[in-house]
Amino acid sequence: MAPLATLFLALALQGPVDAAQQPARSRTMPRTAEAMAAADTAALRQAIDALTRQVALLRVQLGEQQATDLRRFNANVARLQLVLADQDRMKKARAEALGRLRGAQARADDMRERLANIQRELITSGELNRSAGEDRLRSSYNRQLDDATRDTNDAQQELYELDAKIEKSERIAETLRKRLRIDESQIDVDDTPPAPKPEPPPENP
């Protein structure tokens, strides 16, 4: 009987201990889950805050980039306008230089023609002293030929320099058009819509 009494006593003692431990476990597990959920929520909030700051920074950077692009676009437009205006001025100067060149060449040709036919020039001039008259005419024609030749050379040099400047200006203008994405089809285009066609009169029944 003693061993049986001892077993009952052990079971009796074990029962209260397990019952006391069970509530402690049940209380510990919910608290751990709540702590984990709170930590996850805090981490999610931090991630959302970081993402919000990144989005705000990206918006600021995008606004600055758009403002920079607009300033660059306006600067290129202004520069293209200046380049085209300078081109127009140089082309007018080239036309004037070409006119001077042709005039100087015509004067030089005229003087060569007169020198080649000096006797005819003497008859036309009515000089009494033919020798002195020929010397005078030759001197005058040679001087005018020298002036015309010098004017021809000056005009040719000016044309050479203007052509080089115009060519460089056209390269710059083409580069600016590419930056602005302007092609030849967008230049001097008439945007006026076509007039509507008149409707035919109704047929008589």
pLDDT in tens, 118-157: 888 887 777 667 788 888 889 999 999 999 999 999 999 9
- Nearest to 112, CA basis, from 151, 138, 130, 133: 138
Q: Which residues contact 152 (CB under 8 A, 6 or more apart)?
A: 101, 104, 105, 108
For the stretch 136-146, what's the b/e string if a residue is b when 16 or more beta carbons lie within 10 angstroms of its beta carbon? ebeeebeebbe
Q: Which of 35-44, 53-62, 145-154 has the highest mean pLDDT?
A: 145-154
Question: Does position 60 have pLDDT exceeding 80, yes or no?
Answer: no
Alpha helices in 117-128 (DSSP H): 118-125
CATH class of 38-181: mainly alpha
Please, which pLDDT band fits residue 89 given cuts at 50, 70 and 90? very high
pLDDT of 15-24, one tens digit each?
544 444 445 4
CB 87 within 8 A of CB 183: no
Where are the domains positioned within the chain? Answer: 38-181
State residue 201's pLDDT score. 47
CB 142 within 8 A of CB 108: no
Distance between CA 115 and CA 145 in Å, rounded? 10
Please, which pLDDT band fits residue 29 given cuts at 50, 70 and 90? low
Report residue 82 CA to chain centroid gap. 14
pTM of the model: 0.56
Distance between CA 107 and CA 148 in Å, rounded? 6
The residue-averaged pLDDT of 23-41 equals 66
Report residue 97 CA to chain centroid gap. 33
